[in-house]
Amino acid sequence: MRVVVHTDDADTWCQALARRLPDAEVVTSEAAGDAPADYLAVWKPPASLFEGQSRLKGIVNLGAGVDALLHNPGLPRGVPIVKLRDAGMAPLMADYVRFGVLYFQRDFDRYFAQQTHGTWREQPLIDKADWPIGVLGLGAIGAHVARALAEDGFPVHGWSRSAKSLDGVTCHHGEAGLSELLAGVRTLVTLLPDTDSTRGIVNAGTLSRLPEGATLINPGRGSLIDEAALLDALGPGDKEGRLRGALLDAFTEEPLPRDNPLWAHPRVRITPHMAAPTPVRDAADQVAELIRALDAGEDVETIDPGAGY
């Protein structure tokens, strides 16, 4: 069995997978040359990687988001695609979202703004119980984040396309459920996959349904956000608009171009798609299990390219 790995830290992944798949040849895409692979373990591969893959049995996406892979023009048809289903990313994502929620709920955004003017003024404390949070997307990672916030004492509302049930979380679904959620939350967290139905879901209409002074955290997919509508909702730099602020980790174009106006907006905080990096040690176990299962012909949950997840 030949496994070819393509990702930023390919050498580390190769070492980890070689220990877990001792009977396999595990090599980086650079070392692979023109020899075909049985399995590819990849993150945002170039289209050229798929050229000449005459015996490919499966592709493992080294992350939870598959949009970059599914949009790859070289992606072969009919080859099973599997992805990581958390593998240690959920706790990291929960930490990132916790930071964002507390940043606004405890008024750190306003304290940092006061510091630039030398202003010493304590903001009135708002209890967690009075800070409802909406989580769009209740997959493995979204569900973990929603439950973690609920355990922290926040009222949490979750939204998904179809009905779901989570302990401690008020669940909504469908268009009516989305409207109901938006009307009552102070922080909106977006953890949806990139699909035709979710692309641009945070738009002028969505933002107008949020309460005045609401906040946005997007550690999910950049395609979920209409950036022009977000900037309009934030208002000019010297005056708060309908939206109080945003913490953004994912963007339609990455790296985010230096001339993008989000960089300069005083009520936007930007991080470079680092909210939940894939922990190699935990994830390598799952990748090895997926490859073994595919090779043995076992039933494995695969990606539906038409649905986008």
182 vs 134: CA distance, rounded Å: 7
Cα–Cα distance between 285 and 276 in angstroms, integer?
18
Lookup: tokens for 33: 């040359």
Are 237 and 265 spatial neighbours (Cβ–Cβ below 8 Å)? Answer: yes
CA distance 253 to 260: 10
User: Where in the sequence numbering do the catalytic residues fall?
Assistant: 221, 273
Residues 189/192/195/197 CA torsion (nearest 10 deg): -60
Tell me which DSSP letter residue 277 carries: P
Torsion of CA 118, 124, 125, 127, to 10 degrees: -150
Residue 218 vs residues 11, 45, 119, 165, 281: alpha-carbon distances, Å: 30, 24, 30, 23, 26
DSSP labels, 181-222: HHHT-SEEEE-----TTTTT-BSHHHHHTSPTTEEEEE-S-G
Q: Kindly list the distances between the CA atom of residue 81 and the CA atoms of 2, 84, 152, in Å, as whole numbers in the listed order.
A: 17, 10, 36
Amino acid at 249: D
